[in-house]
């Protein structure tokens, strides 16, 4: 059992690393890939990974990247005047840290494009194009680092409902800049079913999380049916996205997404794939080792 996408530097995961890791191991948990999402959380990411690996052996792998929504969060609070300069500085700083720390890394990410958040938070229309440009430049930088250093990517691609621009732009950037040499995971893919084959054609895996356990997760359950077993990864995206049994249970004490919940995600996935859970667990662990190991 593995968790290919989580944010261990975020609370409540950061403070509860000991209990959460022990519970994961007790359920046959083997590997966790934690994602850095801004230079601000890189120190905490390294620290928590180090603590866990010292206590429990080599469990946590690390991905470093700048999440695509960070540019909007950091540089568009009052006005966006500083977005180009600010983003450039942030990316330069990211590359510096990456170069210093790359021996400790198993992946580049989380990176990608997010066209949902900018509409969701009602960014001024003119700025939408600017934000897209900035996100694309960041993604290009991440793909280049992945290619140069022979590391996989953890990709975030979040679309507006019923649109395909974001995922198409992601696919185009990966194809153009990765030149068939990078692979990795499309984490939490919730987009069009028809584009799944394009993701697979690029050689990528798809990361499935608690959304497949939700009543409204029908779209992602359909995606799962379409993905061959050797391209399936599991993830929690913790501390977000707790599984359905926890969401339903008002008395549950631990309410956030954490790696031990992978068990329930695999059980539901195995029902959808009509196969024994243990078999799916074993195959997906092999996939993890092949991509991130
Ligand atoms: Zn994430």
Cα–ligand 1 centroid distance for 110 (angstroms): 6
What's residue 267's pLDDT?
98
As a whole number of angstroms, the distance between CA 70 and CA 32 comes to 23
- Rounded distance from Cα 68 to ligand 1 centre (Å): 10
Give the Å distance between the CA of 290 and the centre of ligand 1.
21
DSSP H helical segments within 113-179, as ranges? 117-120, 125-149, 165-178
Could you tell me the distance, in angstroms and rounded to a whole number, from the CA of residue 236 to the centre of ligand 1?
Answer: 9
Residue 35's DSSP bridge partners are 63
**What are the pLDDT digits (tens) for 247-283?**
999 999 999 999 999 999 999 999 999 999 999 999 9
Domain boundaries, the chain: 2-292
Distance 67 CA to ligand 1 centre (A): 8
Q: What is the pLDDT of residue 231?
A: 98
* Averaged pLDDT, 21-27: 98
Tokens of 165: 């621009």
The CA distance from 243 to 76, in Å, is 33
Instruction: Using the predicted structure, report yes or no on whether residue 40 has a pLDDT greater than 80.
Output: yes
Q: Is residue 154 within 8 Å of residue 107, measured between CB atoms?
A: yes
CA of 237 from ligand 1 middle (Å) equals 5
Instruction: Kindly indicate whether the domain formed by 2-292 is annotated with CATH number 3.20.20.140.
Output: yes
If you measure from the C-alpha of residue 156 to the centroid of ligand 1, how many angstroms do you get, rounded to a whole number? 7
Mutual angle of helices 165-178 and 125-149, in 10-degree steps = 30
Closest CA to 187 of 238, 115, 245: 238
Percent of the chain predicted with pLDDT > 90: 86
Q: Is the dihedral of CA 248, 249, 250, 256 positive or negative?
A: negative
Number of other residues whose CB lies within 10 A of the CB of residue 53: 15
pLDDT at 280: 98
Residue 78 pLDDT:
66
DSSP 116: S
Residues in the chain: 293
Q: In what order do the strands lie in the sheet with 31-35?
A: 2-6, 31-35, 60-64, 107-114, 153-158, 184-187, 205-208, 232-234
Q: How far, in Å, CA of 150 to CA of 146, rounded?
A: 6
pLDDT at 88 over 90: yes
- pTM for the model stands at 0.95
Which pLDDT value is given to residue 246? 94
Among the listed residues 184, 198, 115, 171, the one whose alpha carbon sits nearest the alpha carbon of residue 145:
184
Look at residue 83 and tell me whether its pLDDT is greater than 90: no
pLDDT tens string 186-243: 999 999 999 999 999 999 999 999 999 999 999 999 999 999 999 999 999 999 999 9
Is residue 157 a contact partner of residue 204, using CB atoms and an 8 Å limit? no
Alpha-carbon distances, residue 132 vs 38, 77, 83, 94, 150 (angstroms): 18, 17, 11, 19, 26
81, 51 contact by CB (below 8 A): no
252-265 burial: b if 16+ Cβ within 10 Å, else e: eeeebbbbbbbbbb
**pLDDT at site 45:** 98
**What rounded mean pLDDT belongs to the chain?**
95
* Cα(158) to centroid(ligand 1), Å: 11
* pLDDT higher than threshold 70 for residue 121: yes
How many angstroms is it from 93 CA to the middle of ligand 1? Answer: 21
Alpha-helical regions (H) of the chain: 17-26, 39-56, 70-75, 83-101, 117-120, 125-149, 165-178, 196-201, 218-226, 244-248, 262-273, 277-292
> Is pLDDT of 4 > 70?
yes
Instruction: Using the mean position of ligand 1's atoms as its centre, give its distance from the Cα of residue 179 in Å.
Output: 25
In which element (H, E) is residue 33 found?
strand 31-35
């Amino acid at each position: 059992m593995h968790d290919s996408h989580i944010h261990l530097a975020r609370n409540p995961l950061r403070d509860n690393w000991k209990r959460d890791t022990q519970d994961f191991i007790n359920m046959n948990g083997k590997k966790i890939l934690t994602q850095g999402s801004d230079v601000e959380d890189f120190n905490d990411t390294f620290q928590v990974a180090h603590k866990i690996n010292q206590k429990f052996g080599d469990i946590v792998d690390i991905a470093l990247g700048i999440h695509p929504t960070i540019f909007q969060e950091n540089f568009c609070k009052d006005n966006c005047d500083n977005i180009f300069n600010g983003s450039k500085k942030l990316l330069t700083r990211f590359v510096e840290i990456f170069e210093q720390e790359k021996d400790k890394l198993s992946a580049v990410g989380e990176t990608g494009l997010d066209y949902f958040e900018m509409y969701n938070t009602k960014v001024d229309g003119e700025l939408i194009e600017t934000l897209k440009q900035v996100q694309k430049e960041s993604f290009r930088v991440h793909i280049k680092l992945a290619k140069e250093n022979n590391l996989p990517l953890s990709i975030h691609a979040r679309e507006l409902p019923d649109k395909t621009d974001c995922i198409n732009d992601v696919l185009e950037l990966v194809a153009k800049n990765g030149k068939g040499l990078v692979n990795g995971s499309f984490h939490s893919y919730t987009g069009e079913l028809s584009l799944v084959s394009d993701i697979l054609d690029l050689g990528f895996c798809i990361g499935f999380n608690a959304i497949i356990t939700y009543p409204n997760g029908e779209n992602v359950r359909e995606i799962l049916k379409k993905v061959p077993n050797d391209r399936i990864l599991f993830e929690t995206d913790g501390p977000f996205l707790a599984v359905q049994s926890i969401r339903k249970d008002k008395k549950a004490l631990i309410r956030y997404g954490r790696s031990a919940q992978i068990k329930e995600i695999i059980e539901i996935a195995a029902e959808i794939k009509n196969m024994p859970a243990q078999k799916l667990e074993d195959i997906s662990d092999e996939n993890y080792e092949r991509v991130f190991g």
